[in-house]
Amino acid sequence: MIQPNFWKDPEAAIRSAYSSTDKFILDNSMQLGPGGSTAVTAIVVDGKDLWVANIGDSRAVVCERGSANQITVDHEPHAERRRIEKQGGFVTTLPGDVPRVNGQLAVARAFGDQSLKAHLSSEPDVRHVPIDSTIDFVILASDGLWKVMKNEEAVNLAKSVKDPQAAAKLLTTEALARKSKDDISCIVIRFG
């Protein structure tokens, strides 16, 4: 298969990369294990263009004009119920719990997860955001951060720290202090 050229068609190239990643994880599940992962990725081109993609509930939030603006979609099972059911799966919602694909996974899109793959998608949402003087930074983080922190809280915390690595460390430390029980990965990219 010929890979799309990023410079000619960035969105197609990103979609192809996500598909290749999912295939690699599935093909190597014996070594990697049967689980899966959500993802959020960003490509910054010449400090002028931001290409963001995600699957699952890993999220990108920009600080724009000093406020939080979520630029990714959280792929929750209830929002994709039709597609999941059309593929032979089901969505459960038990009292006190979140909707789950086949009673197991709390996201409708993910890499890997061989046992649920027939009902999961690895198709990313892709967004292009022109970077201008209104955008200060972007936070890319897994759900371990977002389950215990609102977008605006994260942006306000990161605003207080100029160094992006220190800002990411502050966010992960705060998520731990708030007793996050999920994986916590975080990157902050500052512009200008």
Q: pTM to 2 decimals?
A: 0.93
10 Å CB burial of residue 101 (0-12, 13-18, 19+) is buried
- Band of pLDDT at residue 190, cut at 50, 70 and 90: very high
3-state secondary structure of 122: coil
- Band of pLDDT at residue 1, cut at 50, 70 and 90: low
Q: Is the pLDDT of residue 81 over 70?
A: yes
- Give the residue-averaged pLDDT of 12-40: 94
Residue range 166-188, pLDDT digits in tens: 999 999 999 999 999 999 999 99
Residue 105 DSSP code: B
- Give the residue-averaged pLDDT of 151-179: 97
- Give the residue-averaged pLDDT of 58-65: 98
Domain ranges for the chain: 10-190
What pLDDT does 192 receive?
77
What pLDDT does 2 receive?
60
Q: Is the pLDDT of residue 150 over 80?
A: yes
What pLDDT does 4 receive?
79
Helix H or strand E segment including 167 = helix 164-177
CATH T-level topology, domain 10-190: Phosphatase 2c; domain 1 (3.60.40)
3-state secondary structure of 27: helix
The lowest-confidence range among 16-20, 32-36, 44-48, 121-125 is 32-36
Distance set, CA 80 to CA 71, 73, 129 (Å): 19, 12, 25
Q: Is the pLDDT of residue 71 over 70?
A: yes
